[in-house]
Amino acid sequence: MKFLGIIPARFASSRFPGKPLVDIEGQTMIQRVYEQVKKSKKITKVIVATDDQRIASEVRSFGGNVVMTSETHQSGTDRCAEVISHNREYDVVINIQGDEPFINPEQIDLLAACFENPQTKIATLVKEIETSEELFNLNIPKVVRNVCGEAIYFSRQTIPFLRGVNQEQWLEKQKFYKHIGIYAYQADTLRALTRLPVSGLEEAEALEQLRWIENGYAIQTAVTTHETVAVDTKEDLDKILKLFFNK
């Protein structure tokens, strides 16, 4: 199978404008993400999908592949669908977040391995929650899976709810998983997803993947042991500098 890695990148961000171009110890964030994705053993080609010429120029400056996409896209999924419409030789698209400069390539390969099962249409990663801070953090989406490893539901609330158990004991009584926001789709499935209307569950939770579940799509999950560090704010960037560079 041929895997196309796409990194959607926007300049406009309400919490951190211009973050793809922020410098991280001599390299921009988008370059660090790009080079990490290139280390994957499964990815055939990597493309940055953007609507901003400043980002496009930066990608070209370090020899990367970039495609200009529409300014009207509402999500990275839509941006990926536009790119795959011009790259039909690929079987699977892997959508990599553009704000995770130290994503582990093994995570990408783990996700790609889900498609060894020809029934897999969509796949994503989850990680076991290890702390109460994460478990009850409403900014961290949680996932409930079935016995086949498919996602049943995603929520910002803590799910499943443990009736009759003190919250301090929840991690002792049940495995909980958080969602790692990297997706892969069969190319035809990706095109179909972008034609679906916004769903009620998606609006309620502000989680795009609920639209797919609500429309009957199965989302296969794989469990990673690697942590991901996303940069949503300047404060997150400060944490990364301390974590990786002792700044």
**CB–CB of 239/246 below 8 Å?**
no
Give the C-alpha separation, 125 to 104, whole Å.
12
pLDDT digits (tens, 9 = 90+) for 52-94: 999 999 999 999 999 999 999 989 999 999 999 999 999 999 9
Residue-wise pLDDT for 108-129, tens only, equals 999 999 999 999 999 999 999 9
Q: Which sign, positive or negative, has the C-alpha torsion 173, 150, 90, 19?
A: negative
The CA distance from 241 to 125, in Å, is 25
Sign of torsion over alpha carbons 230, 234, 238, 239: negative
| Widest CA span in the chain | 58
The model's pLDDT over 210-226, given as tens digits with 9 standing for 90+, comes to 999 999 999 999 999 99
Round to whole Å and give the CA distance between 247 and 239.
Answer: 9
Q: How far apart are CA 173 and CA 133, in angstroms?
A: 16
Question: What 8-state DSSP symbol labels residue 156?
Answer: S
Q: Is the pTM of this model over 0.75?
A: yes
